[in-house]
Chains A and B, each alone.
Chain A
Amino acid sequence: MDSALIPEGVKRCSLPKFLLGLAVVGGVLAWGVYAMLLCWIKGLNQSNMNDYYGFALWIWADLAIIALGGGAFFSGLLKYIFGKDELKHIINYAVLIGFICYSSALLILAIDVGQPLRSWFIFWHANVHSMLTEVAFCLSAYFAVLTIEYIPLILENRQIDKVPFFHNLSHNMHGAMAVFAATGAFLSFFHQGSLGGVAGVLFGRPFAYREHILIWPYTFFLFTWSAAAYGPSFTLFITWLTEKITKKKLVKDNVVYLLAKISGWMILTYITAKTIDTLYWMNTTAPAQGFDWSFFYQNNPLYGKWILFTEIVLCGFVPGLILVMKPTRENPSLRVTAFGLGIIGVSLNRWVMVLQTMAVPVLSFDSWAMYMPSWQEVATTILPLAYGVILIMISYRYLPIFPQERELNPITSDEVEAAAVAGDASADEKLQPVEA
């Protein structure tokens, strides 16, 4: 029924099957929307945030998905500025994933601010002494860039592309994309960094506080670095997941190897810098504020030294080394394991910098404050996942996201005939056999 909208030369599941999938994920989405409306209508009392936790699950989710969405800006930087042309075969998907991550982050923020109708205050009544102001500026502007990068993909839909204006618009937007990609890299550098800077400048919280280079604490650079490192791994992981679900090869191995190798080197160099930062904090920064570093990892039910080992060794050095070495990088199982560990690692880092920072007692009569999110917080955090799945489903079905799909999955004459027998009127038009 919708075959006229599906890209030429590719095969998609039947419309009822597609709609059923949408309905299942839509149910999860509806649950999240219900919780979101509760937060907006009844207020932030729907969350379990309190005087200890002004930042909680939402801010962790924000920081984690912004880091994971870093694949878009870094892939764009590599392709358009550093000339890694092979990445053109995966850049569409990186943009889509980045668009989902950043729109999700903005959605979560819209819930977290409590009064979303006053969101514009941050632009008009800006507090120029806050790193979060810079985050808000760059996040909004970068989302505009991602939207601009996503629009040409929509315009390349088979039917939309037939309209000369849209065809030309898509073509011209592609032509100017290097300018937008460079702007996106500039904006990403600062907002990723400032998110780390927020933790690093907290001199009243010795667990998070770090030394500075000029006005920027080390966490500023580590956050940007980690987003550029782990973001491409997330893009590759979602690509692998999409290939498994669709049972198709969508991107050639040489493209995956290249991005995985770059991600591996970025992870390895990042985690080395993170280790040096941690050692300096353990031996100099924390003692200077009257604390032994082990104080931050004891007398509580969750935050032990295991978390440090997991973040730095298991989810840092291990995936970095796997992706850097050719034999392990080219082993599919090990490569995907490395992507998974990397995703856990960067998410854990954001958790530690947000939640553990809040949990540590800061007054002598205080004790550890643990946190359990309300179901509304959980539902609104799962909401972007469902939204992301839906957007990927729709985009994959109707837009030419993977330029190599046709070549990697040629449609045979038998499949064309089978589709015609099934009564698909425009099957002949849609499924064009590819000669080997």
Chain B
Amino acid sequence: MFPFSFEWVWDMGHMVFHGGLWYALSVIGMGMTFVVIKTIVDTLQGKGGGHHH
């Protein structure tokens, strides 16, 4: 649920519950975005190539 949903109420329950969810999803999303972008850059720079790390 987002603040623009008709059911949304600006009370502590909605802010804590959904704030926690968005916070966690944001960290996961930003983390994965960073990883994927870095991977694309690394691959374009010719890193990798099947060597074990």
What residues make up the interface of A, taking CB atoms closer than 8 Å to B?
123-126, 128-129, 133-134, 137-138, 141, 144-145, 148, 161-165, 167-169, 171-176, 179-180, 183, 186-187, 190
Are B50 and A133 closer than 8 Å at their CB atoms? no
Are B17 and A134 closer than 8 Å at their CB atoms? yes
Are A187 and B42 closer than 8 Å at their CB atoms? no
Mark B2-28 against chain A: 1 for CB-CB distance below 8 A, else 0.
000101000101101110110011011
- The minimal Cβ–Cβ distance linking B30 to chain A, given in whole angstroms, is 9
Are B50 and A137 closer than 8 Å at their CB atoms? no
Knowing A172-B35, A172-B39 are in contact, say whether A141-B28 is a contact too (CB < 8 A): yes
Question: 18 more A-B contacts (CB under 8 A) besides A128-B13, A168-B48?
Answer: A125-B1, A126-B18, A128-B16, A128-B18, A137-B21, A162-B50, A164-B49, A165-B43, A168-B38, A169-B35, A171-B48, A172-B38, A172-B42, A173-B35, A175-B35, A176-B34, A179-B27, A180-B31
- The minimal Cβ–Cβ distance linking A151 to chain B, given in whole angstroms, is 10
Contacts of B28 in A (CB 8 A): 141, 144-145, 148, 180, 183
Q: Is the interface of A mostly helix, strand, loop or mixed?
A: helix
Are A161 and B50 closer than 8 Å at their CB atoms? yes
Contacts of A176 in B (CB 8 A): 31, 34-35
Give CA–CA (A154, B46) in the complex, Å. Answer: 22
Contacts of A187 in B (CB 8 A): 24
What residues make up the interface of B, taking CB atoms closer than 8 Å to A?
1, 5, 7, 11, 13-14, 16-18, 20-21, 24-25, 27-28, 31-32, 34-36, 38-40, 42-43, 46-53
Give CA–CA (A310, B27) in the complex, Å. Answer: 42
What would be 14 A-B contacts, judged by CB atoms less than 8 Å apart?
A125-B1, A128-B11, A128-B14, A128-B18, A129-B13, A137-B20, A161-B52, A164-B49, A168-B39, A168-B43, A169-B39, A172-B35, A172-B42, A183-B31
Give CA–CA (A124, B1) in the complex, Å. Answer: 4
Using CB atoms, name the residue of chain B closest to A8.
Answer: B52
Using CB atoms, name the residue of chain A closest to B47.
Answer: A168
Knowing A124-B1, A164-B43, A164-B48 are in contact, say whether A171-B53 is a contact too (CB < 8 A): yes
Are B1 and A137 closer than 8 Å at their CB atoms? no
- The minimal Cβ–Cβ distance linking A142 to chain B, given in whole angstroms, is 8
Using CB atoms, name the residue of chain B closest to A179.
Answer: B31
Using CB atoms, name the residue of chain B closest to A173.
Answer: B35
Give CA–CA (A148, B36) in the complex, Å. Answer: 12
Give CA–CA (A133, B13) in the complex, Å. Answer: 11
Are A165 and B48 closer than 8 Å at their CB atoms? yes
Are A126 and B49 closer than 8 Å at their CB atoms? no
Our pick among A128, A134, A141, A165 for the contact of B25 (Cβ within 8 Å) is: A141
Give CA–CA (A180, B39) in the complex, Å. Answer: 17
Contacts of A123 in B (CB 8 A): 1, 21
Give CA–CA (A49, B44) in the complex, Å. Answer: 57
